[in-house]
Structure 1
Amino acid sequence: MRAGELLGRAAYDLHGRRLGRVVDVVVRGGFPDGRLRLTDVIVTRHWWSRVVGRLIGAERHPSGPWVIRVVARAGSRSSRQLPADQVQLLPPVRGFPFGDPGS
């Protein structure tokens, strides 16, 4: 599974409620087999909130102009990091969330 297969997919919770679209993925290492694993997905309701909130957000420019920080905080409120096993994607991706056991 590649990250490009996940990005832009519609994401739903386990009860079928729409969460938004996948805009990023989180992978972590340190597992016994030495491989990276997809652990979380970042979902946003609006495409612009990810761009505004992360590219010019307060965490990148903590001493920047206050107006930009306020707009970035407001725009990034709809971005959420969720555990991959609590998200369903449409259309489904083979092997999501933990990959194919045979690969």
Structure 2
Amino acid sequence: MRLNELLGRSVVDRHGERIGGVADVRLVQDGPLPAGGGQAALRVDGLIVVERRATQLFGYERHVGPALLRALVHSRLGEVWYLPWGDIERITDQAVELSAGRAELRPLEEMARY
């Protein structure tokens, strides 16, 4: 599966309730080093999911920019969650299915800044 196949895909919780769509994928560069040297491989750490529409994000859904602009972005997107890769039960042609319920999801705003 390619990363662009995840973008825009519907996300449902363990009860089958749609919670939003995949807006972004978080990668971490901590994989194995190639035999010939070079940089560590990338791995998928988690997904960023927005409630109302999967759209390109510019950082305003997080801790970036003026508070008024962030509030406007959130009013358009609705809730924004970070889903660790371990919370994904499976990926089908129709949706990303979670092992957690909506109430257990972690808001993106709670992620550490880095």
Do both proteins adopt the same fold according to a TM-score greater than 0.5, normalized to the shorter chain? yes
Q: In 1, distance between residues paired with 2:25 and 2:63? A: 19
Q: How many residues align structurally?
A: 87
Q: In 1, distance between residues paired with 2:51 and 2:71? A: 19
Per the alignment, residue 61 of structure 1 pairs with 65
Counterpart residue identity of residue 47, structure 1: R
Q: TM-score, normalised to structure 2's length?
A: 0.56
Is residue 2:72 matched to residue 1:71? yes
Is residue 2:49 matched to residue 1:37? no
Q: Output the aligned Cα RMSD.
A: 3.1
Counterpart residue identity of residue 24, structure 1: D
Structure 1 residue 60, shift from structure 2 partner? 3.3
Judge conservation of contact 1:20–1:43 (CA < 8 Å) in 2.
Answer: yes
Counterpart residue identity of residue 28, structure 1: V
Partner deviation per Cα, 1:3-42 (whole Å, 9 max, x = no partner): 1111111112334332211111011121345321111001
Per the alignment, residue 82 of structure 1 pairs with 83
Unmatched runs of 5 consecutive residues or more in structure 1: 94-103
